[in-house]
Amino acid sequence: MKPLEKLRSKYTGCMLGAAIGDALGKQNEGLGRKDILENGYVTDYGKARPGCPGEKLREGQYTDDTEQMIVLAQSLIDCNGFDAMDFAEKIAKWGVEAQNDPARKKLVGPSSSAAISRLNSGILWKESGSEIPSCGSAMRVAPIGLFYNNMDEIESNAALSSIPTHNSKGAIAGAVAVAVAVRRALCERDCIEIVKDAAGRASKYDSGLAKKIELSFEKKDTEPDKVFEELGTSYLVYDTVPCAFYCFSRHFGAPEKAITEAVNAGGDTDSIACMTGALCGALHGIDVFPEKWLKGLENRKMIEHLSSAILRKSENI
Ligand SMILES: [Mg+2]
């Protein structure tokens, strides 16, 4: 494969990987690990179980994680870079649309909901972000790692992209870690280098989260039951981001396994799998995903189109 084709495959793989992980993971969102292992280890698309936030979504349909990632990607393309005001406007508009849709209204997390209300009441993006350290800005941030080539720009724009909705140090650090890891995964073959760089950049914002990301790598040879219990799988960034790094590191050469591991982790499975999928796709490219996952994914063409547009912009900055 020629270098540009390989890069295109990785850009597309990153965004599709996020959407695939999200669409698979939504089936288990909010369920306990034990319950998942006893009643239905998920390896393919299906409906979410009754009571899950995504119970009204179709098979292969993704959740708010991917929807917010798409909003961010579109904003980067429209503005030729990250523009906080444009992104905040777009996310506020998206939020109202999602909250008015009976199938999607339960998907929007606590930080995003609060921020959307504030933005729509006229509060400026610098003041609208929630203090809850949830993972909403980390789960959507991958396009920043694709758009910018320079690590300092990735770090600063990832941090900025968190502020309109997630203005806690943990959430900002989580967004920085994932964006940096996405960029490193595009050209790095050594897992420890990717994790070290992500944790190093995140440590400027939240040393606790950075340490937990490093721990997730150190635990990569420990069995998942123990690790998920130790790390926690709640919607908080301190749980979801380390869990995604664990799944990615444990199955570094086997992306299908990494994503499946995340999908069945328990807790915030759609977000853990969304971030795991983004990292796997950036590392391996689109061809590593099973055809059934690519075929069954909703809006595949639209996501491919966005990732190609980001690649074109990225080459010109
Ligand atoms: Mg979700």
Q: pLDDT higher for 105 or 231?
A: 231
* 259 CA from centroid of ligand 1 (Å): 15
4 CA from centroid of ligand 1 (Å): 32
- Spatial separation of the C-alpha atoms in residues 91 and 164, rounded to whole Å: 9
How many whole angstroms from 65 Cα to the centroid of ligand 1? 5
Per-residue H/E/C for the chain: CCHHHHHHHHHHHHHHHHHHHHHHHHHHCCCCHHHHHHHCCCCCCCCCCCCCCCCCCCCCCCCHHHHHHHHHHHHHHHHCCCCHHHHHHHHHHHHHHHHCCCCCHHHCCHHHHHHHHHHHCCCCHHHHCECCCECHHHHCCHHHHHHCCCHHHHHHHHHHHHCCCECCHHHHHHHHHHHHHHHHHHHCCCHHHHHHHHHHHHCCCCHHHHHHHHHHHHCCCCCHHHHHHHHCCCCEHHHHHHHHHHHHHHCCCCHHHHHHHHHCCCCCHHHHHHHHHHHHHHHHCHHHCCHHHHHHCCCHHHHHHHHHHHHHHHHCC
CATH class of 3-315: mainly alpha
pLDDT at 225: 97
Nearest to 13 by CA among 117, 103, 145: 145
pLDDT confidence bin for 317, thresholds 50/70/90 = low
Residue 3: per-residue pLDDT: 86
HEC states along 7-67? Answer: HHHHHHHHHHHHHHHHHHHHHHCCCCHHHHHHHCCCCCCCCCCCCCCCCCCCCCCCCHHHH
Q: How far apart are the CA of 316 and the centre of ligand 1, in A?
A: 32
pLDDT of 40 reads: 81
Whole-number Å distance, alpha carbon 3 to ligand 1 midpoint, is 34
108 C-alpha vs ligand 1 centroid, how far in Å? 7
Distance in Å, CA 22 to ligand 1 centroid: 7
Q: What are residue 39's phi and psi, to 5 degrees?
A: -115, 0
Q: How far is the CA of 101 from the centre of ligand 1 (A)?
A: 15
Q: Express each pLDDT in 264-304 by its tens digit.
A: 999 999 999 999 999 999 999 999 999 999 999 999 999 99
Has residue 109 got a pLDDT over 90? no
Q: Residue 66 C-alpha to ligand 1 middle, in angstroms? A: 8
pLDDT of residue 189: 81
Evaluate if residue 135 carries a pLDDT over 70. Answer: yes
Rounded-to-integer distance, Cα 211 and Cα 19, Å: 27
Distance (Å) from CA 2 to ligand 1 centroid: 35
**Confidence category of residue 110, pLDDT binned at 50, 70, 90:** confident
**Interval between CA 64 and ligand 1 midpoint (Å):** 5
Is a pLDDT exceeding 60 seen at residue 156? yes
Cα 159 to middle of ligand 1, angstroms: 20
Confidence of residue 179 (pLDDT cuts 50, 70, 90): very high
Give residue 226 CA to ligand 1 midpoint distance, Å.
Answer: 24
pTM for the whole structure: 0.97
